[in-house]
């Protein structure tokens, strides 16, 4: 029997991607409805995707087996806990939370409820990344010495620029994807982080640019550029790239390639249109199959906690201008 699914909040931009993907997955799951603490936003989304709007989130939980939480980062604990208490499995938008205390509380709530809590790291599902992981695991390029990663983007605006809601700027928003790939592909943890962080591209005070240098427990070094450095006219949201250097070879990964470049004379704009598989759809297929089979799939809540620790260590390092241990999130 296919699970019934819903979405909690359309605060996050990715909620629309997930709603579209759920609509395409009608053979795997039934998209029941949407709840949102901003009723006008929720009703608009429900009308757009032709599903029910639930003013009371508990009513949505009563009619579903799984939900995707896409609220502001600081509200993840509230919304994930409510969904778990309501008896449904959860896929939570990244980052898992804004503090490790919140993340651990969410993990404990999942254990108490004996329900799945997974984290939205869709880049794992891109064909280029999966193939690179296979090459690494085969030993074809030898021992991995270093990785240079980027996850650039545009300045998103709205609550993303409000630290109390977001927990931070570009470092919080974009570090976690690359940190997750490093842990997942290399099978190791981040040991320490050194970061230089600043505000360069926008008018606000929140961080929008950074360079992180990571030392991994297996001896590999990595850099991550999570900057919101793409201008408003850039043809895509950003990128996600990896240059993986081994003792016997190098892998160059562009997670969002291949694409078509479209020059529109009427609008004087340029677009990169992906011709690859939809990573969000692949992630939701995996999550929903895991719900149906009772076998958790995809990134775990613990994965979300570990990547949050990397981002928080980067902020501490940027403040003190010295390396910080990734697993120590105070001082």
DSSP string, 46-96: HHHHT-EE-SSHHHHHHT-SEEEE-S-GGGHHHHHHHHHHTT-EEEEESSS
Task: For residues 232 and 143, state if they share a domain.
Answer: yes
Task: For residues 21 and 115, state if they share a domain.
Answer: yes
Task: For residues 103 and 176, state if they share a domain.
Answer: no
> Of 120, 154, 173, at which residue does a domain stop?
120
Q: What pLDDT shows up at residue 235?
A: 76
Q: What pLDDT shows up at residue 331?
A: 37
Quote the DSSP letter at residue 257: -
In terms of residue numbers, what domain contains 195? 123-277+308-325
Specify whether the CB–CB gap between 274 and 256 falls below 8 A. yes
User: Which residue in the block uniquely carries the two structure tokens 């842990």?
Assistant: 183
Task: For residues 8 and 28, state if they share a domain.
Answer: yes
Quote the DSSP letter at residue 71: S
Inside any domain, residue 299: no
Stated as kind and residue range, the H or E segment containing 196 is strand 190-198
User: Which residue in the block uniquely carries the two structure tokens 């906690």?
Assistant: 305
Burial class (CB in 10 A: 0-12, 13-18, 19+), 134: exposed
Q: Which residues contact 100 (CB under 8 A, 6 or more apart)?
A: 305, 308, 309, 312, 329
> Of 61, 96, 120, at which residue does a domain stop?
120
281 three-class SS: helix
Q: How far apart are CA 69 and CA 36, in angstroms?
A: 10
- Mean pLDDT of each 10-residue bin along the chain, 331 residues long: 95 97 92 98 98 98 98 98 98 98 98 98 95 95 97 95 97 98 98 97 92 98 97 82 95 83 74 76 97 96 98 98 83 37
Q: Is the peptide bond before 258 cis (omega within 30 degrees of 0)?
A: yes
Q: Which residues pair with 274 in a beta bridge?
A: 259
CA distances from 31 to 18, 61, 282 (A): 10, 13, 16
The pair phi, psi for residue 75, each rounded to 5°, is -100, 0
Q: What pLDDT shows up at residue 330?
A: 43
Q: What pLDDT shows up at residue 163?
A: 96
Q: How far apart are CA 77 and CA 251, in angstroms?
A: 38
Q: What pLDDT shows up at residue 114?
A: 98
Inside any domain, residue 285: no
Number of domains in the chain: 2
Choose among 330, 296, 288, 310: nearest CA to 66. 288
Q: What pLDDT shows up at residue 275?
A: 60
> Of 71, 97, 120, at which residue does a domain stop?
120
CA distances from 202 to 33, 161, 232 (A): 36, 10, 11
Model pTM?
Answer: 0.94
């Amino acid at each position: 029997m296919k699970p019934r699914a819903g979405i909690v909040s359309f605060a996050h931009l990715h909620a629309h991607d997930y709603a579209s993907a759920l609509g395409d997955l009608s053979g795997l799951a039934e998209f029941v409805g949407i709840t949102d603490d901003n009723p006008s936003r929720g009703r608009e989304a429900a009308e757009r995707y032709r599903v029910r709007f639930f003013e009371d989130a508990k009513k949505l939980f009563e009619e579903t087996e799984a939900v995707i939480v896409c609220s502001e980062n600081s509200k993840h604990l509230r919304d994930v806990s409510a969904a778990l208490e309501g008896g449904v499995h959860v896929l939570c938008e990244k980052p898992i939370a804004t503090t490790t205390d919140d993340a651990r509380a969410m993990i404990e709530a999942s254990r108490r409820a004996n329900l799945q809590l997974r984290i939205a790291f869709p880049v794992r599902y891109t064909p280029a990344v999966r193939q690179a992981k296979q090459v690494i695991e085969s030993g074809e390029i030898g021992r991995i010495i270093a990785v240079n990663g980027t996850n650039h983007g545009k300045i998103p605006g709205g609550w993303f620029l409000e630290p109390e809601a977001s927990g931070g700027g570009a470092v919080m928003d974009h570090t976690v994807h690359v940190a997750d790939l490093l842990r997942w592909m290399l099978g190791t943890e981040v040991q320490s982080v050194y970061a230089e962080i600043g505000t360069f591209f926008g008018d606000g005070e929140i961080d929008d640019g950074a360079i992180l240098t990571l030392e991994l427990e297996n001896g590999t070094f990595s850099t991550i550029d999570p900057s919101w450095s793409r201008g408003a006219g850039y043809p895509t949201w950003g990128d996600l790239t990896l240059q993986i250097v081994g003792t016997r070879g190098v892998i160059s990964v562009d997670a969002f390639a291949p694409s078509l470049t479209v020059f529109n004379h009427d609008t004087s704009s340029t677009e990169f249109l992906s011709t690859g598989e939809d990573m969000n759809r692949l992630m939701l297929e995996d999550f929903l199959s895991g719900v149906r089979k009772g076998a958790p799939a995809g990134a775990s809540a613990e994965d979300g906690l570990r990547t949050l620790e990397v981002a928080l260590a980067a902020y501490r390092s940027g403040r003190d201008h010295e390396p910080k241990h990734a697993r120590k999130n105070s001082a």
